[in-house]
Structure 1
């Protein structure tokens, strides 16, 4: 007897994503639905503090150059290259756009324009997904800077765009005080990100 053909999996749709309870975070990449619990307290703290630290100087122009939109958990829509007409939908913990590229916020509930900077705060449940699924999407879409923050290991990994791929350029740890692109105009004290 011949081998039975494998059953073709149905591609997830935006309707599947919308059906996910609001107590979860959902993304749709390559026709696959990824669902994760809401962030744990250390994760939420690191993301919130980082948003405050860079939002004042870069979005509000307080102690920095301004000229950015810095947003928590924006829904990004990118065309899925494997399925024309479908979108990959990702939700970074933080993202930033230079206002020269996006002078006004869109009227849609999502962002069709890739950010200039994205940040993922890692957790044991999301780390592999963030590294192996999302970072390649950010590279493909031309996100110039990606940061991975790990509140458990107390690290900030920096990636930069090179030939449509995000490549690692450095890791900063613990209580380092750093100036990192694209926000090198301010010194960032990493100890502020780790819950005390």
Structure 2
């Protein structure tokens, strides 16, 4: 896992490409300064960026990522919004911040996205986040999502593979039926077989 500094540096480099005009540069420099300070006053200023209307999306993303990785739960709602965002780069940034935030609502929000059939094409990072959190909601949500993908008609192979990887890593034998179903697809045969082998190693099937 990258350090917070590495992730923040990558985020600021990406955001710089979106800036338009001197006013946005000034806002960018101000937001980055507060993010680097990390003091109580600086966090209040970042939270204000999230609360006040009219700020560009990149400013809200910078503020939310900074607050989230500092454990400030005022970032939660904005980060969930970004996790649902169509741009996978923004969703990945939000997932990283949510994983570090430690808010108990995170797994429920990620599960809601992962199991929403209307958001499947945007759910890759929510699925990966569920696997990383290993929360009580994780396995049921991942099983539900993978069942829907296996049954089709739109399989979304990358999302399905992420579900399989997460389920295999968690080693929960409740996932065996859906992983067995996934194995019939050539695109999923190898990861599903590997996940099943891992589960059976950690929790051998009963001989009864």
| TM superposition score normalised by structure 1 | 0.32
- Structure number with higher helix proportion: 2
| TM superposition score normalised by structure 2 | 0.30
